[in-house]
Structure 1
Amino acid sequence: MPAVPSWLSDPLWDQFAALLPPRPATDPTHPLGCHRRRVADRIVFDKLLQVLRFGCSYQGIADSTCSATTIRNRRDEWIQLGVFAQLKTIALNAYDRLVGLLLDDLAVDGCITKAPGGGEVAGRSPVDRGKQGMKRSVMVEARGIPLGRVLAGAHRHDSPLLASTLDRLDDLGPLPATITVHLDAGYDSQKTRDLLTARRLTGEIARKGVKAPIQATRRWHVERTNAWHNAFNRLQRCYEPKEDVVNAYFDLADAIITIRSLIRHAWILYRWDTRPTRRP
């Protein structure tokens, strides 16, 4: 069973491969000139997609085509090159150019997941009997396209992470004159309102003690995006100890979510010769 359908993995790989530097198939400095061939980048990329989607270990996904050590080494090499972050940025820019980001309404929310192995972004979870957990503060636009995130331990409250999450807006270029940020009751404080006012943002914050259906807002987009993220088992139950590795997997997941939405919206908005007869 493929981790990602071919109509999504093929364009994802085409863009990813364009960001990789050229590398020879064999080591030209080998004294005997008989060094074994380098494992193809596409094989390693597919293995990383399987790790992200299924949450399996590197040893569990390794086979005769690629070892666990090769997967980890190539992953770290690509992280140092910044390929995962570039892929996410390119996907976001393509979506903005072809479909358009709806930045007038933003939503921010936190989500706690398990982190059994601990790590740099793990902490005692208040909802899991003090076990190790990770919190992500996610910001999305009006359709749920992820714009940025902040990772922290599960013991951190949502509201102190709001400022650093909103800082991700600086990477998006020109912004609308009026932006409304939709928040749940966990952000209901004067400190949050002062923060939004200082940034010239309008806040629509749920009031504490009021039932959700009565004050339903546009926060459901970020809840759905959290569900999209949790569909990737590596993010739902994270065993990675290093923050840069976790961010790399989130960048890859964000790129998948963005490209998937882009393809589905483009099927309605545009026509081309090879356009599928059915919407993906």
Structure 2
Amino acid sequence: MPALPSSIIDPLWHQFSRLIPPLIDTHPLRCHRPRISDRIIFDKLIAVLVLGASYLKISDSTCSATTRRARRDEWITAGIFHKLEQICLESYDRIIGLALDNISVDGCIVKAPCGGEIAGRSPVDRGKQGTKRSLMVDGNGIPLGCVIAGANRHDSILLVPTLKTLSRFGDHLPGRITVHLDAGYDSKKTRSLLSELGYDWVISAKGQPLQAGARWVVERTNSWPTRGFKKLGICTERRGRVVEAFIALANAVIIIRRLIREAWITYCWDTRSTRRP
């Protein structure tokens, strides 16, 4: 049984395969073993992301753990995962439309038992190793950008790097953008930084009862990678570039899933399913 339904994994693979650079065979005699199919590697990486299994545990006669890691690193070097995420965002914006006038940012801490480049002492897990994801979403909860760091980094420190990921949209940003933040960002320094960047803000006040406002969408989106992708719920990768690649792949899945759901209630086409996705 596949880790994701075919309605999601097939369009993802269709676009992903177009981004894979052509293979240049440098073997002098061209007598090496046949190259494992890219589709097999892609399906295995999806299984690793969704199920959280180790590379060795899901190895079989079709593909070894070493081959999977090597191909993954090739694709990371080529920037395919981030290009896929960008294409999914552009497709969603073209078909449904991104609500970029209201964005929300919040951090999420997950366990990182293996440590690594982006691990730090977690303040919510008795000082054990953890990783923090600073996530930015639009007004409907579509992930726009993510910055990772050690769990001991404060949310406000990661705010500016997270907001800078909006540069991926170039000149297509609205004239006025309102940033919605929780009480952890309630400080004069944060307000000064937002003023310098030209953003409006809605920040929950410290010491007051819970003020969800329009910020609840980022809380919901933060739960999707943690609950739906076990590889991100417990981060066992030690290298930052690998974690960023898996986050980009997870965001692409989330965006495609939301695109299919929103398009079903917005548009009609001949082959549309009668059952709501």
State the percentage of identical aligned residues: 60
Q: 2:10 — aligned with what?
A: 10
Q: 1:19 — aligned with what?
A: 19
- CA shift for structure 1 position 255: 0.4
The C-alpha deviation readout for 1:71-106, integer Å capped at 9, x for no partner, is 000000000111001000000000000000001110
The C-alpha deviation readout for 1:130-165, integer Å capped at 9, x for no partner, is 110000110000111111011110001101111111
The C-alpha deviation readout for 1:203-259, integer Å capped at 9, x for no partner, is 1000111111xx331111000111111021111111111110000000000100011
Match status 1:129 vs 2:116: no
Q: 2:109 pairs with 100, 106, 112, which one?
A: 112
Q: 1:254 pairs with 230, 245, 251, which one?
A: 251
2:222 aligned partner, one-letter code = N
Q: 2:152 — aligned with what?
A: 155
Looking at structure 1, the residues matched to 133 and 200 of structure 2 have their Cα atoms a distance apart, in angstroms, of 23
- CA shift for structure 1 position 29: 3.4
Match status 1:216 vs 2:203: no
Looking at structure 2, the residues matched to 152 and 29 of structure 1 have their Cα atoms a distance apart, in angstroms, of 40
1:125-274 matches, cutoff 5 A: 125-173=122-170, 174-212=172-210, 215-230=211-226, 231-274=228-271
Looking at structure 2, the residues matched to 29 and 153 of structure 1 have their Cα atoms a distance apart, in angstroms, of 42
1:52-131 matches, cutoff 5 A: 52-131=49-128
2:11 aligned partner, one-letter code = P
- CA shift for structure 1 position 120: 0.7
- CA shift for structure 1 position 198: 1.1
1:246 aligned partner, one-letter code = V
- CA shift for structure 1 position 170: 1.4
Residue 98 of structure 2 aligns to a residue whose secondary structure is coil
- CA shift for structure 1 position 2: 2.0
Looking at structure 2, the residues matched to 165 and 34 of structure 1 have their Cα atoms a distance apart, in angstroms, of 48
- CA shift for structure 1 position 28: 7.4
Q: State the TM-score, normalizing by the size of structure 2.
A: 0.96
Looking at structure 1, the residues matched to 209 and 79 of structure 2 have their Cα atoms a distance apart, in angstroms, of 44
Looking at structure 1, the residues matched to 110 and 252 of structure 2 have their Cα atoms a distance apart, in angstroms, of 20
The C-alpha deviation readout for 1:53-78, integer Å capped at 9, x for no partner, is 01110000111100000100000000
Matched residues, number: 275
Looking at structure 1, the residues matched to 113 and 98 of structure 2 have their Cα atoms a distance apart, in angstroms, of 36
Looking at structure 2, the residues matched to 192 and 30 of structure 1 have their Cα atoms a distance apart, in angstroms, of 59
Looking at structure 1, the residues matched to 276 and 85 of structure 2 have their Cα atoms a distance apart, in angstroms, of 23
| Unmatched tracts of structure 1, length 5 or more | none
- CA shift for structure 1 position 268: 1.8
RMSD value over aligned CA atoms?
Answer: 1.3
Residue 148 of structure 1 aligns to a residue whose secondary structure is strand
Looking at structure 1, the residues matched to 166 and 40 of structure 2 have their Cα atoms a distance apart, in angstroms, of 35
| Unmatched tracts of structure 2, length 5 or more | none
Residue 56 of structure 2 aligns to a residue whose secondary structure is helix
Greater than 4 Å deviation, 4+ residue runs? none
